[in-house]
């Protein structure tokens, strides 16, 4: 197995897109097969080593950044299987954890199939997208990665390799899972004893539901319960046609009326994505897209799947909805073919990229949210963010997955004093969102940056529920310590 110990070779493993500084590691290992990865864990406790898992470094929460632990990098576990059509109109494909999402999507597309999860950044690894239950604009229709995972191969923290398929291990009526493993022996633990928020996206803490599948405990566990070595993923038939529109509105009032109607199902439209760009996001994007109209109240990006036979009716339905909500048709941008669609999706991608580039030239980091509220409260979430930032006089943008009432607020502090104020506002916003029945993270996860706030969401008893499960699977605490669960909770017995 290749390992790197030279500081210049391991520097790249001390960062992701979170701007979290001061990580360090004695070395990075690159397992080339599942046994090598599991072997590292098997010997971890006896060798006194802890490991942090690294994907491709596009995470936003510092999850892959080690603070003194060794790194296991997934780059060489990168084999991808063939697309295998099944009887029920779907197909499956197996991919090791270091396969790039964009490569998996291309392979599926070449065979006429479609892998829906679409985090805006496509250079992430498949294993990370499973570990983080990543999602994207199409999750409005298709759900997050969780909905597309059929089976997993996992290296457990004591060194066992576990192969699980959906339906094989369900929590019993008391919520208990039981496993008989060669190294760890008999493992038995109950699912977390807490409720889940009533949001349509949620990615903060271990999953828990009556009768839940063990697969769902590992999806979204951010590498704290095991290494995702390989996943079997579900593919859908490629839609015959897709079109997209960027619809500008002169007022926020009109924009939110459009969002409500578009997702209600009453308007004869069935979008697969409904995304917001607030007025400030459009102003930010104008540096790369000078043709963005001036003076609008914001824009909504929608994608719609259709067929040759239905395309005209669909377009008419969207045009009618835009007219009903007062969107000036002459300002809207439509993409009716693959090139146009790629261009508009690139426009969507450019916003977080430009923000990150801009920030890399600034002294201060951004303060950003990834929270969601129950769908019916999307406007209230927007107003909570907007009003709080206006009252503070901040430079800020609000954008993202309005269809799922999941918005990214990015506060761009101009100096340290603003940064400190933004951080204290963040805590207030978390309280506001939680009081609306929301979640701390809808897609980016918790990592190291947000673990302290997880206590606000679950209370100490909820965190202890996660520690209970973590310790059942990782009794020697060797894997991804510092991620998700605040480390102080490991010091108290549960």
Ligand X SMILES: Cc1cc2nc3c(=O)[nH]c(=O)nc-3n(C[C@H](O)[C@H](O)[C@H](O)COP(=O)(O)OP(=O)(O)OC[C@H]3O[C@@H](n4cnc5c(N)ncnc54)[C@H](O)[C@@H]3O)c2cc1C
Residue with Cβ nearer ligand X (61 or 208):
61
Q: What angle do CA 360, 363, 366 make, to 5 degrees?
A: 65
Rounded CA gap, 382 and 298, in Å? 12
| Interface map 72-111 toward ligand X (x if CB under 6 A) | --x----------------------x--------------
Can residue 129 be called a binding residue for ligand X (CB under 6 A)?
A: yes
Residue with Cβ nearer ligand X (121 or 465):
121
Only one of the segments 54-62, 309-317, 388-396, 468-476 lies at the binding site for ligand X (rule: CB under 6 A); that segment is 54-62
Q: What angle do CA 129, 181, 49 make, to 5 degrees?
A: 65
128 close to 77: Cβ distance less than 8 angstroms: no
Q: Which of 139, 123, 176 is nearest to 16 (CA)?
A: 123
Taking each helix axis as running N to C, give the angle between helix 378-392 and helix 252-264, from 0 to 180 degrees, rounded to the nearest 10.
160
As beta bridge partners, residue 189 has 177
Residue closest to ligand X when measured from CB atoms: 63
What is the rounded (10 degree) CA torsion for 210, 215, 220, 222?
A: 130
Beta-sheet strands, E only, within 296-413: 298-306, 333-335, 367-368, 396-401, 406-411
Only one of the segments 2-10, 161-169, 220-228, 433-441 lies at the binding site for ligand X (rule: CB under 6 A); that segment is 220-228
- Out of 28, 41, 53, 273, which residue is the one contacting ligand X (CB under 6 A)? 53
Residues in the chain: 494
Rounded CA gap, 4 and 71, in Å? 10
236 close to 299: Cβ distance less than 8 angstroms: no
- Out of 23, 31, 34, 63, which residue is the one contacting ligand X (CB under 6 A)? 63
Can residue 439 be called a binding residue for ligand X (CB under 6 A)?
A: no
Backbone angles phi, psi at 366, to 5 degrees: -80, 160
Rounded CA gap, 37 and 72, in Å? 8
Can residue 119 be called a binding residue for ligand X (CB under 6 A)?
A: yes
Can residue 222 be called a binding residue for ligand X (CB under 6 A)?
A: yes
Can residue 60 be called a binding residue for ligand X (CB under 6 A)?
A: yes
CB of residue 353 to ligand X, shortest distance in Å: 5
DSSP state of 138: T
Can residue 120 be called a binding residue for ligand X (CB under 6 A)?
A: yes
Residue matched to tokens 């197909």: 91
Can residue 162 be called a binding residue for ligand X (CB under 6 A)?
A: no
- Out of 25, 105, 135, 199, which residue is the one contacting ligand X (CB under 6 A)? 135
Residue with Cβ nearer ligand X (254 or 482):
482
Residue with Cβ nearer ligand X (388 or 411):
411
CB of residue 404 to ligand X, shortest distance in Å: 11
Residue with Cβ nearer ligand X (74 or 384):
74
Can residue 481 be called a binding residue for ligand X (CB under 6 A)?
A: no
- Helix, strand, coil percentages for the chain (3-state, nearest 5): 35, 25, 40
Site for ligand X in 231-270 (CB under 6 A): none
444 close to 203: Cβ distance less than 8 angstroms: yes
Only one of the segments 53-61, 206-214, 420-428, 430-438 lies at the binding site for ligand X (rule: CB under 6 A); that segment is 53-61
Residue with Cβ nearer ligand X (156 or 335):
156
Residue with Cβ nearer ligand X (25 or 60):
60
CB of residue 268 to ligand X, shortest distance in Å: 28
| DSSP string computed for 232-245 | EEEEEEPPSEEEEE
Residues that bind ligand X (CB under 6 A): 16-17, 52-60, 63-64, 74, 97, 119-121, 124-125, 127-129, 131-132, 134-136, 222-223, 227-228, 352-353, 443-444, 447, 480, 483
């Amino acid at each position: 197995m290749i390992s790197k110990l030279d500081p210049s070779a391991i520097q790249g493993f001390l960062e992701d897109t979170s701007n979290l500084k001061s990580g360090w590691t004695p070395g990075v290992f690159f397992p080339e097969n599942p046994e090598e990865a599991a072997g590292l864990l098997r010997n971890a406790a006896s060798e006194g080593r802890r490991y942090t898992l690294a994907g491709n470094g596009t995470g936003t929460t510092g999850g892959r950044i080690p603070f003194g632990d060794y790194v296991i990098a997934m780059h060489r576990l990168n084999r991808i299987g063939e697309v295998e059509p099944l009887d029920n109109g779907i197909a499956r494909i197996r991919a090791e954890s270091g396969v790039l999402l964009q490569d998996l999507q291309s392979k599926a597309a070449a065979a006429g199939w479609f892998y829906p999860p679409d985090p805006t950044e496509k250079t992430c690894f498949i294993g990370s997208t499973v570990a983080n239950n990543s999602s994207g604009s199409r999750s409005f229709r298709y759900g997050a990665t969780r909905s597309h995972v059929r089976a997993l191969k996992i290296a457990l923290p004591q060194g066992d390799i576990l192969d699980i398929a959906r339906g094989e291990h369900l929590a019993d009526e008391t919520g208990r899972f039981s496993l008989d493993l060669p190294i760890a022996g008999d493992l038995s633990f109950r699912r977390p004893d807490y409720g889940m928020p009533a949001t349509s996206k949620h990615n903060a803490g271990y999953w828990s539901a009556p009768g839940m599948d063990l697969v769902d405990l590992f999806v979204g566990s951010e590498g704290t319960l095991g290494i995702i070595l390989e996943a079997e993923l579900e593919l859908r038939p490629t839609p015959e046609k897709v079109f997209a529109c960027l619809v500008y509105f002169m007022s926020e009032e009109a924009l939110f009326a459009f969002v409500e109607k578009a997702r209600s199902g009453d308007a004869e439209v069935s979008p697969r994505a409904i995304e917001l760009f607030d007025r400030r996001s459009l102003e930010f994007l104008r540096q790369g897209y000078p043709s963005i109209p001036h003076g609008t109240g914001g824009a909504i990006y929608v994608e719609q799947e259709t067929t040759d036979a239905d395309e005209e009716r669909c377009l008419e339905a969207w045009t009618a909805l835009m007219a009903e909500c007062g969107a000036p048709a002459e300002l809207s941008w439509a993409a009716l073919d693959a090139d146009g669609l790629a261009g508009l999706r690139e426009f969507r991608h450019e916003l977080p990229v430009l923000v990150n580039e801009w920030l890399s030239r600034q002294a201060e980091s951004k303060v950003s949210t990834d929270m969601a509220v129950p769908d019916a409260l999307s406007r209230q979430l927007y107003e909570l963010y907007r009003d709080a930032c206006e009252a503070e006089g901040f430079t800020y943008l609000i954008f993202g997955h309005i269809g799922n009432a999941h918005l990214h607020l990015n506060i761009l502090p101009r100096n340290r004093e603003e940064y400190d104020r933004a951080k204290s506002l963040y805590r207030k916003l978390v309280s506001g969102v939680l009081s609306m029945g929301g979640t701390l993270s809808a897609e980016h996860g918790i990592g190291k940056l947000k673990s302290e706030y997880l206590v606000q969401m679950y209370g100490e008893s909820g965190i202890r529920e996660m520690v209970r499960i973590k310790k059942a699977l990782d009794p020697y605490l060797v894997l991804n310590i510092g991620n998700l669960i605040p480390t102080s909770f490991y010091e108290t017995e549960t």
